[in-house]
Each structure stands twice: as structure tokens, then as C-alpha cells.
Copies of this chain bind each other. A is one copy, B any other.
Amino acid sequence: MDQSIRFYSEGLGMELLDLHSIEETGGEVAALKSKDSPQLLELNWYPHSQSEYRTGSELDHLAFETDDVKAAFERLVKLGARPARDIEVRAKYIVGFVKDPDGIWIELYAPRTV
């Protein structure tokens, strides 16, 4: 993780916005951003590799923020997406996954407003 963060920050000029541990997995997640872009690059490290991560999944998915995860999920399925993971309501956000017409994993998320 340290080497990858250095690669994207020192090497490519991105700014490290966040680095924290994930209690559930014992892993770490980092968020980096290029100066003139609002887009985040998220790096994830899992200490116990899981069978679903393998060569070819290093660059894993694209995430889109949306006002309404369920509506976006249904709209995308009508446009050729395959449902990939059920919508989950978590403490701070709602999240769902589809695969685009070519199999690319797409995350749909919405922050939860109190």
C-alpha cells in the first residue's frame, strides 16, 4: 500500500485525501485525487486475499454517485446491465452493483441524509 500511494502521489502528482483501516477485513483503503479533478482513485488492500480478486481485477470498478440508487439500478438493467449485487443500506450510504453491457463492474452509491 505504501509503495502504491507513493507511486500515485509522488509519481503522478495526486493528493492523498484519506487512508484508514477497515475493521471488518483488517485491510486498508486510500483515496487519491488529481489536483484539477473531483474524481477519486480508491486503492484497497486486503490482508487475506479472497478468491474473487485475481489477475485481471486489479483495476476493479467504476463508481457513480446518484441521488437514487434503486432508480439508477433499474434504469441500468433496462439498458443492458446485469444486476451484480443486491442494494445494501449501510450506516452512511446506500450501495448497489451492476455489470455494464461488457461486464465492467459499476458501483452506484448515495450518501444517506439524516
B76/A12 in contact, CB under 8 A: yes
**Min CB gap A60→B, angstroms:** 7
Question: Assuming A36-B38, A37-B38, A38-B36, is B11 touching A103 (CB within 8 A)?
Answer: no
| Binding site secondary structure of chain A | loop
Whether a CB of chain B sits under 8 angstroms from the CB of A57 is yes
Question: For A27, what are the chain B residues with a Cβ–Cβ distance below 8 Å?
Answer: none
Question: For A18, what are the chain B residues with a Cβ–Cβ distance below 8 Å?
Answer: none
Work out how many copies of this chain go into the complex. Answer: 2
Q: How many residues of A contact B (CB 8 A)?
A: 37
Please, how many angstroms separate the alpha-carbon atoms of A34 and B64 in the complex?
10
Q: Mark A38-63, 1 if CB is under 8 A from B, else 0.
A: 11010000000000001111111110
A7/B81 in contact, CB under 8 A: yes
A102/B39 in contact, CB under 8 A: no
Residues of A within 8 A of B (CB): 3-4, 6-8, 10-12, 34, 36-39, 41, 54-62, 64, 72, 75-76, 79-81, 100-106
- Nearest first, the 4 A-B pairs at minimum CB distance are A56-B56, A11-B79, A39-B39, A11-B76
